[in-house]
Amino acid sequence: MSEGSLKGKTALVTGAAQGIGKAIGHRLAREGAVVAACDLNLPLAEATVQEIRNSGAKAKAYLLNVTDAEEVVRVVEEAAKEFGRIDILVNNAGITKDALLLRMEEGAWDAVLSVNLKGTFLLSKACARLMIKQRFGRIVNISSVSGQRGNAGQSNYAASKAGIIGFTKSLSQELGARGVTVNAVAPGFIQTAMTEGLPQEIKDSYLKQIPLGRLGTPEDIAGAVAFLCSEDGAYISGEILGVNGGMY
């Protein structure tokens, strides 16, 4: 994949203010894409956008609650009007509210499924309408190794990420004939603000499960996303790309 492979493309990335979403925004911009950086934290999203602009690329920040259907449609329409089209959608926005099942409150279940799974549904539906008309599109959903193998204390998170896998495979069959690919990237344990707060003994237990012997970086995930959005990934659809250091 050559640098600048996404020149002329517009990418909408959710959860783009920090962590994996921020790295994805930077990588897609480096490959030549214009980036619509969407997040609930607008100041942080604007800071990310400024960094992208400082690198010479074009980007704009949008305040977005991915669980609000009307807001999703409005932001997608605004971005499409601003940049002329949306070629790439990266559904990265996600949250965790971990607890063992017997201690998990219903609100924690609903919140995680709403952001992680419903948000993916709403954004994909809104962007797919545009992509079908263009007869071109790349949708990349961020799942998780937890959605593939489960993880104690994360039944809500794992269910939402497993749901994304089924959603990805189904949507790829619906949109393929219109020139739209739909894939998912399933990260393993990645160095983010979320994992930084974990006790060292938990981090050590994770490392023992990873054959490559290190946590992943947001840039590892961003590289996989960029590949799936590029021409090198044009004949890949309905796939789940594990980026987990060999742990699964």
- Please give the positions annotated as active site: 157
**SS3 call for 150:** coil
| Residues contacting 64, CB < 8 A, separation 6+ | 14, 38, 39, 40, 71, 72, 75, 93
Distance, in Å, from the CA atom of 148 to the CA atom of 228, rounded to the nearest integer, reads: 20
Give the closest residue to 164 by CA, choosing from 218, 110, 120.
Answer: 120
Q: Which of 57-83 are b and which e, b meaning 16 or more Cβ less than 10 Å from the residue's Cβ?
A: bebbbbebbbbeeeebeebbeebbeeb
**What is the Cα–Cα distance from 206 to 21, expressed in whole angstroms?**
22
For residue 137, give the 3-state DSSP assignment. strand
Q: Where is 142: in which H helix or E strand?
A: strand 137-142
Residue 178, phi then psi, degrees to nearest 5: -100, 15
Q: Is 90 helix (H, G, I), strand (E, B) or coil?
A: strand
Beta-sheet pairing, 88-91 with 137-142: parallel
